[in-house]
Amino acid sequence: MSSWVKGLVYLLSALVCVGHLPAPLPTINTCIFDDIEPPDVLQKRQTYAHTQDVLREAGTHSHIPDVLQRSGTYSHTEDVSEGTRRTSDRTKRNTQTSDRARRNSRDLFQPLRITTWFHNIGSELGRAEQDSLRAVVQEAVGRITRALAVVPVQGPLVLGRNFTEICKFAVAANQPNAGKCSVAKTTYRGEICIAEFLIPDEHLEGFATWADTGDTPVQVLYTDGAGVADTDYILYVTAATTTRCQNDHSILAYASYCQLDQNNRPTAGYTNFCPVQLQGPGFDRDKFVMTAIHELLHALGFSKQLYGKFKDCSSSADPTSCPDRRDVVETRYGMNRITTPTVLNRTQQHFRCSWTDFGGPLEDRPTGVSSHWESRLMQGSIMTAKLGPPHLHTIDAVTLAVLEDSGWYRVDYTTAGPLVWGEGQGCTFGTEATCVTSDDWFCLGSSVGCHYLRLDKGRCESDSYLGACRVHKPQPGDECWKESSAPSTLQLELHGESYQEASRCFMSNLIKTGQGGPSSPAGRCYEHRCNSTGVLEVRVQGSPWVRCQFGSSIAIPGYSGLLECPPAGVLCRDVYPPPHTTATATTQADNCPTGNTQHNPPTSPPSCVPPPHTTPSHVTPSPHHCYSYNTG
Ligand SMILES: *[C@@H]1O[C@H](CO)[C@@H](O)[C@H](O)[C@H]1NC(C)=O
Ligand SMILES: *[C@@H]1O[C@H](CO)[C@@H](O)[C@H](O)[C@H]1NC(C)=O
Ligand SMILES: *[C@@H]1O[C@H](CO)[C@@H](O)[C@H](O)[C@H]1NC(C)=O
């Protein structure tokens, strides 16, 4: 696409979303145009331990149990028993080598190590804002690395240079140094991620020019960088008011991957946080953590540019060299869906749908393959295009299944949060043909009801992604669990409401006896409790605890009208506890006030490394360059 067409696409898609933003201050339901399409991405071979090494090690030193132990939460019970059997049953080893090698390859996986590299974040952020950004990124990285494992890179991770970009003439094919560069271009500026971030030379391989013959180069233009030790992925983080931030003030952050390894796994990524969003009293730490996780998941693999690069490692002895996975996205039942095996399994399980090609539904607005989940079906997932209040989103198992099916990661599903939306609702849930109704999930009109998780009230609304469907969306002040959201005492008393940690949203038309005629049902906040057998009770101001049988309507002493008990499945299930409203905990990043933080696997504490050497000044994108944003 030519750049002006891209610019037009961007403008149009921005309008689609911005047109639906109600207020100039989008503190809620912020539009995210966040997954940048890199034009072309360099691939560089990395060094990995090979399966054969592990087999050999196991044969001579019985190392397999150690390997399993080190892989900690990533070894499933099944693996452990297989590992035990393997070591105690060595005589049969040679008979089924390839099968064993394949199973053994799973043992190679270790928790993902991400090194975050903050570049120049002090140029636009004050000290406190920098600390906030570091804390946010570290928390996001911590949560991702707990969920994912990879075959670890051996030795330092060193990124590649684009030969075509740097070399003008190569040594002729009939010469001993054939293929090496003989004359370098003078225009080479370095490796730049999505035209914005200049990768530090110390993370890059060197470059030299050569004569036709000879073992030593004629001129070394760049010496080999030291790379980054103990790392599988480098995440570059900046906070600059770029063109992308200026073009759309609702963007919090955006991200892209920068390089891939020989198996297409991203080895470096870049994310920029728009400074204005980190500044001032409106800064919402939890929202930024969720945004950072969302961005990082794009840059690790959940990206429409990467679906086509996924690998099928199900029968490969070497998990760093697998065949391409075909048909990752297919159009089924009028929707683009991810139809890889684990995603199929997880979605079928979640919606309780037996269609074998049901798949993970991708966002259909705007048209085309999306890097986000369909909003109508995947409310609450971290990977929907629009993130609401952070306590209503989670890193769900369907999202993690995409990363597993990329072939690059093993996933610890115990780290996944519960996806409640649409649970067990069958194959036709959440289509525009079925959603125009008022039920436990969708609503009609613009009434005040309850968000489906019952933590908050919500106004019945649609947005650019929901299309014809409407859901109850919480606004600031709708949080039943938050004391500071409570309206005046007088207002509370009329309907017997209370705002506190144990309060949840119930539909009710209760009104204090003698205070007037019946009111119309609306979402209201009442204290709740669950006993150990999962029985729900509610208490309205001044009333005793009253049992609230799921799906029934009950009367409350001292009030006229009824209170509707929610359907089973959300309350008394211990999912979605209200977020902590107390001061935020200190984070690891607080130990690293300047420079960059080496992020180690969760088991070992982080250590601080010195700040980077001063690199050439930040590369600013040319003002005439237009970008295509992934809008959904
Ligand atoms: C390498 O550089 C050439 C020349 O600038 C460019 O056309 C190509 O897209 C680049 N390749 C990658 C993988 O970035
Ligand atoms: C999903 O996978 C699990 C474990 O392999 C299996 O027990 C279950 O039957 C599968 N579910 C579906 C719906 O395919
Ligand atoms: C839970 O409450 C129900 C109804 O009030 C009661 O029948 C049941 O015995 C209670 N269970 C426990 C363990 O207290």
For CA atoms 568, 573, 579, 581, give the dihedral sign: positive
φ/ψ of residue 197, rounded to 5: -115, 120
CB atoms near residue 518 (< 10 Å): 11
Poorest-pLDDT segment among 16-30, 199-213, 305-319, 464-478:
16-30
Q: How is residue 617 written in tokens? A: 């000044």
Residue 221 CA to ligand 1 center (angstroms) comes to 19
- Active-site pick, 124, 191, 295, 404: 295
What is the CATH architecture of 483-564? Roll (2.30)
Residue 292 CA to ligand 2 center (angstroms) comes to 31
End-to-end CA distance of the chain: 18
- The per-residue pLDDT of the chain, averaged, comes to 81
Poorest-pLDDT segment among 197-201, 475-479, 605-609:
605-609
In the predicted structure, residue 252 carries a pLDDT above the cut 60: yes
Task: Consult the annotation and say whether 372 binds a ligand.
Answer: yes
Task: Consult the annotation and say whether 580 binds a ligand.
Answer: no
Is 549 a pocket residue for ligand 3 (Cβ < 6 Å)?
Answer: no
Poorest-pLDDT segment among 41-45, 50-54, 63-67, 93-97:
63-67
What's the alpha-carbon Rg for the chain, to the nearest Å?
27
Is 348 a pocket residue for ligand 2 (Cβ < 6 Å)?
Answer: yes
In the predicted structure, residue 604 carries a pLDDT above the cut 70: no
Higher pLDDT: 249 or 161? It is 161
Is 38 a pocket residue for ligand 1 (Cβ < 6 Å)?
Answer: no
Domain boundaries, the chain: 3-45+113-155+232-420+602-616+625-630, 51-107, 163-222, 483-564
In the predicted structure, residue 593 carries a pLDDT above the cut 50: no
Which residue has a Cα nearest atom 5 of ligand 2?
345
CB 235 within 8 A of CB 141: yes
Is 52 a pocket residue for ligand 1 (Cβ < 6 Å)?
Answer: no
Question: Each residue of 2-23: pLDDT tens digit?
Answer: 444 333 333 333 322 322 223 3
Element (DSSP H or E) covering residue 547:
strand 546-547
Task: Consult the annotation and say whether 350 binds a ligand.
Answer: no
CB atoms near residue 367 (< 10 Å): 9
Question: Each residue of 444-460: pLDDT tens digit?
Answer: 999 999 999 999 999 99
CB 37 within 8 A of CB 1: no
In the predicted structure, residue 546 carries a pLDDT above the cut 90: yes
pTM: 0.81
% of the chain exceeding 90 in pLDDT: 69
Q: Which ligand is nearest to the CA of 165?
A: 1
pLDDT of 40 reads 85
The residues, any chain, with a CB within 8 Å of residue 495's CB and separated by 6 or more, are 508, 510, 511, 512, 519, 524
Is 553 a pocket residue for ligand 1 (Cβ < 6 Å)?
Answer: no
Is 40 a pocket residue for ligand 1 (Cβ < 6 Å)?
Answer: yes
In the predicted structure, residue 624 carries a pLDDT above the cut 80: no
pLDDT class of 51 with cuts at 50, 70, 90: low
Residue 497 CA to ligand 3 center (angstroms) comes to 24
Q: Which ligand is nearest to the CA of 349?
A: 2
The residues, any chain, with a CB within 8 Å of residue 138's CB and separated by 6 or more, are 116, 587, 588, 589, 597, 599, 606
pLDDT of 53 reads 60
Pocket test for ligand 3, best of 529, 530, 531 (most atoms within 8 A of CB): 531
% of the chain exceeding 70 in pLDDT: 76
Q: Which ligand is nearest to the CA of 544?
A: 3
Residue 42 CA to ligand 1 center (angstroms) comes to 8
Is 547 a pocket residue for ligand 3 (Cβ < 6 Å)?
Answer: yes
Residue 506 CA to ligand 3 center (angstroms) comes to 21
Ligand 1 atom index nearest CA of 162: 1
User: In the predicted model, what is the mean pLDDT of residues 172-189?
Assistant: 96
Is 349 a pocket residue for ligand 2 (Cβ < 6 Å)?
Answer: yes
Q: How far apart are CA 290 and CA 287, in angstroms?
A: 5
Is 535 a pocket residue for ligand 3 (Cβ < 6 Å)?
Answer: yes
Pocket test for ligand 3, best of 535, 554, 565 (most atoms within 8 A of CB): 535
- For residue 295, indicate whether it is catalytic: yes
Residue 533 CA to ligand 3 center (angstroms) comes to 6
Q: Which ligand is nearest to the CA of 547?
A: 3
In the predicted structure, residue 144 carries a pLDDT above the cut 60: yes
